[in-house]
A and B are shown apart, each in its own frame.
Chain A
Amino acid sequence: MGNNAKRMAMRTPMLDELESGPWPSFISDLKKYSEKRPVITQLLNQLNDSYETKWNYWQGKILNCSGYGGGIIARVSDKSDQYPDLANFHTVRVIEPPGWVYNTKALRNLADISEKNGAGIIQFHGMSGDILLLGFDDEGSLQCCEDLMNDGWDIGGSGAAMRTLQCCVGEARCEMACYDTMKATKHITDTFIEYLHRPEFVYKCKFKLSGCGNDCANAIVRSDIPIIGTWRGPMQIDQAKVAAFIDEKGLDYTIDNVITRCPTNCISLKTATKEIEVDDANCVHCMHCLNVMHKALKPGKDRGVTILVGGHRTLKIGDTMSSVLVPFMKLETDEDLVKLTDFIDEVWEFWNDNGMDHERIGEFIHRIGMGNFLKGIGIEPDPRMIKQPRTTGYIKFEELAPSRMEGERKQDPPVWNREPESSETL
């Protein structure tokens, strides 16, 4: 489509206001490019209309390439009488290289595919991590998917599916990375690729992977299953570099910005020798002291991940922050990675068997209780999963209930099922 689109005059007085100023203007970029792809004139004219009326003119529809149940975000314009080539103007989500690393061959390839089949608008990246290619009609979308797949790309996720993963740069360029985030991201994506392409969950499930507690992938509140790098045992300390830090920054700075900022007060300063001591058993691996003294301090050598569960933004029960599910797990060998995906499979099975429509994992846990959730997935409770034990006095102690009171239990753990067993099989 694109280059065959109807040409019309650009009329964008509101958008013109976004062409000045020091930040790069996508309006100026797209205006210039509209000479090549005149459909962009229609797009910018419609966007300008939105700026004037404060109204949106896109509706959704459903379009999939054969064998896929997601990845094309189909949009149709309410103004297609005025802007005929926006009648079908879709986005294709593409799974990004883990860590968002590219060579120029890949970038040019995306530019060519995007331009050949549609409007040639590209976004690096969507909020789930995908590369977004914008502006294809129905046929262009499908051909775009074909071209992408022929060149080794794959289509991203949408709907009630495993969503495209995202991870930090990890071991590729960071001294703090406690595991290989890129490799783990590729492993999870590839292992469960059928769940990404064919939505069959009760609702979406997102992973984000960060190499340390700094959480550059924004995992803990933006993903259902954050996987965050950590270590056991002693932190690595180079005392000579600690002394050099103190010499450079001064004692006051060291006390105010390192020693007193430790959330568990586990660092002490030996002023005479300009050394620090860390009570490693009490370190919670928050990363602050390593961030400040990043030459002197390093994560310990026995590294792995903390797996959390349940993060999502406000709809529907309100925000849920992820919480600890597996305090520590090694993630070094290929066997470790398989152990991880086997574990995820079990979590998913219990959630999908018992979750209600549109119920994210965090909402499911909120409804049935973490205790029941742990029983359902076969994990022993661990005090590191909680901030403090319960303060609510109403408890069903199963072990202490007299048998005559117990009644018939249909399910173990006792999760209310959305489809109660009935006599309809009779």
Chain B
Amino acid sequence: MRETKLAPRDQGAPDYTQYLHPLMAKNYGKWDYHERIKPGLLVHVADSGDKLFTIRAGSPRTMSADTVRKISDIADQYCEGFVRFTTRSNIEFLTGDEAILDQLIDAIENDLGWPLGGTGPSVSNIAHTQGWLHCNLPGSDAAGSTKALMDDLINDFKTENLPNRVHISSSCCQINCASHGDISIIVQHHHAPRIDHDNMQICELPKVVAICPAAAIRPKLVNGKESVEIVEEKCMYCGACHGQCPSMEIRDSETDTLSIWVGGKMSNARSAPTFMKLAVWGIPNTPPRWPEVSEAVQKILTAYKETGKPWERVGEWIDRIGWAKFFELTGFPFTRYHIDDGPEALSNLNRSAMVRL
């Protein structure tokens, strides 16, 4: 049986100091500069002159305990036992020993089988959600679609030939756990939720009513049972109620589609952070490899690579060339659905006579 101590112990965050590579611990807060030696290989130079080499590789994020042990074997052999992960699920092997870099790279690429890259102006690993593997709300998969898309974008991961870095995110419902990106893929629903009136009693109905962003849900007695009804005209198919109550099924394997958004930016560099904007909608949800998504993403990347200026992120590039040019270069149709009718609707119109002709 379980060996139980009295919980909670509320131990908090792990003591990170024990996990710092010795050169990180020694030069903590005393770094001078860094250089990208080649894609996937960085060197950080400290005030002391110490050099810490970082080899960044793309990880699948989801891995078996044996793979974690394989990482550990490599880190024990070459990295004094220290690694770290990045915000975008890349792994970073750390070493101060320049002489073993080739062997370390060989071990990562060939024993582990993970590609080097994701540094500088490249496509980094995709921030993604849980999907069909383990979420209760997804309309699509995430780890699998990420694998398929990164297979196609591998050259942009392994080289540094883009104007600036490209962050891609992929989410399986409108909650969009993977959040904004330079390019972002999201599931889109196309009709109101189906209410299971016989099973609505498992949900807190006042919360179901309150969570609707469109105020489209009203309490209603159905067949003598407490339930809700939906005002179809108001409902915008977001699925907020489905997250609150499993008896409000929003997903539809026949009609759900994917849309791609562009120009999200969290960095403050040059221009203020921005939300992503709708680029193309109605892309079919096609496991196992989602070729239509890949094709659309590559259209965006090709146009960005060809016409972006150094340091411009995707959103900054489009701001400079204008949206008309973006739609021309990518070939995506511009439709009335691209015109905002949400909270930012009026401020997203071109409120000037400044027009590219």
Contacts and interface: CB of A to CB of B under 8 A. Distances in A.
Contact of A217 (B33, B64, B87, B147): B87
B146 to A, nearest CB: 8
A257 B164 CA distance: 12
A175 B31 contact: yes
A213 B275 contact: no
A263 to B, nearest CB: 6
B16 A99 contact: yes
B64 A121 contact: yes
B268 A51 contact: no
B178 interface: yes
Contacts, number: 373
A26 B344 CA distance: 40
Interface residues of B, number: 116
Contacts of B310: 256-257
Given A67-B7, A97-B13, A154-B13, A104 B72 contact: yes
A51 B290 CA distance: 11
A25 B147 contact: yes
B105 interface: no
A194 B180 CA distance: 30
A112 interface: yes
Contacts of B251: 55-56
A363 to B, nearest CB: 10
Contacts of A145: 7
A149 B7 CA distance: 9
Given A56-B135, A59-B136, A101 B72 contact: no
B126 to A, nearest CB: 10
B267 A287 contact: yes
Contacts of B132: 47, 50-51, 56-58
A57 B136 CA distance: 8
A69 to B, nearest CB: 9
A67 B8 CA distance: 5
A71 B267 CA distance: 30
A174 B83 contact: no
A218 B264 CA distance: 11
Contact of A66 (B7, B63, B85, B275): B7
Interface string A149-175: 110111000000000011011011111
B190 interface: no
Interface string B194-235: 000000000000010011110000000000000000000000
B12 A95 contact: yes
Interface residues of A, number: 132
Nearest to B57: A24
B174 A357 contact: no
Interface centre among B85, B143, B175, B213 (most CB of A within 10 A): B85
A127 B177 contact: yes
A15 B141 CA distance: 11
Interface centre among B65, B75, B112 (most CB of A within 10 A): B65
B54 A173 contact: yes
Interface string B271-286: 1110100000000010
A58 B134 contact: yes
B49 interface: no
B336 interface: no
Interface string A39-64: 01001000100111111111110000
B65 A120 contact: yes
A211 to B, nearest CB: 10
Given A75-B136, A221-B273, A222-B179, A166 B87 contact: yes
A213 B268 contact: yes
5 contacts: A104-B71, A145-B7, A190-B12, A197-B10, A295-B32
What are the 3 A-B residue pairs with the smallest beta carbon separation, nearest first?
A21-B151, A67-B8, A33-B64
Interface of B: 2-16, 18-21, 24, 28-29, 31-34, 44, 52, 54, 58-69, 71-72, 75-76, 81-87, 89, 91, 112-115, 127, 129, 132-141, 143-144, 147-148, 150-151, 154, 174-180, 207, 210-213, 238, 240, 243, 246, 251, 253, 256, 264, 266-273, 275, 285, 287-289, 309-311, 342-344
